[in-house]
């Protein structure tokens, strides 16, 4: 075997080991019970670690992902966690991704209507800061999950899905 082939083989083996280590490290971070009692602090631009392709959102002491297949991992929060965030951060943007008719039948106080089919075209006029805290809900949790995924893929960092208004116990406004 020539010297060049040996060097290339060694480099390939080393790269494979690094990739396996990165994958193992990134998938082992989800094993903690997060509960409702964590302190909330949000990601700022300088906390983005491009080498690991992840964003460390300290609000629940777990990583949320800025890209790849793990992009939506741990972005789902409970209604009580969402209510706590709304109380602690009154500037939080609450997005209702249902239809105009559904919105008129009752919505979370302070919510902004942004139907899921309009997000790509309209969100920039509503949310100009990619690091703003965005809380998303719909009727049952399906559209909000998709909307959260889309917002993250568009570069929004602090986006959380709190499911559907059908499980919102804190009252609505009309």
Q: What order do you get walking across the sheet with 112-113 strand by strand? A: 112-113, 93-96, 134-138, 159-164
Dist CA 74 CA 65 (whole Å): 9
Q: What are phi and psi of 83, to 5 degrees?
A: -60, -40
Based on the residue annotation, tell me whether 138 is a catalytic residue of this protein: yes
Rg, the chain, Cα only: 20
The continuous run of DSSP H or E covering 85 comes out as: helix 79-88
Q: Which of 111, 134, 138, 159 is catalytic?
A: 138
| Tokens, residue 170 | 């804190």
| Residue numbers annotated as active site | 138
């Amino acid at each position: 075997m020539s010297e060049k082939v040996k060097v290339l083989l060694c480099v390939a083996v080393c790269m494979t080991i690094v990739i396996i280590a990165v994958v193992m490290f990134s998938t082992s971070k989800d094993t903690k019970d997060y509960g409702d009692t964590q302190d909330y602090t949000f990601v700022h631009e300088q906390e983005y670690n491009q080498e690991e392709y992840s964003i460390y959102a300290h609000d629940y002491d777990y990583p949320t992902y800025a890209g790849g297949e793990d992009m939506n991992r741990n972005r789902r929060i409970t209604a009580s966690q969402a209510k706590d965030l709304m109380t602690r951060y009154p500037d939080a943007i609450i997005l209702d991704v249902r239809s105009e008719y559904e919105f008129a039948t009752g919505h979370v106080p302070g919510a902004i209507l942004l139907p899921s089919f309009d997000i790509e075209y309209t969100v920039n006029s509503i949310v100009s800061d990619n690091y703003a805290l965005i809380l998303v809900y719909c009727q049952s949790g399906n559209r909000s999950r998709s909307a959260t995924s889309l917002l993250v893929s568009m570069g929004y960092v602090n986006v959380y899905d709190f499911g559907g208004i059908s499980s919102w116990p804190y009252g609505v406004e009309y």
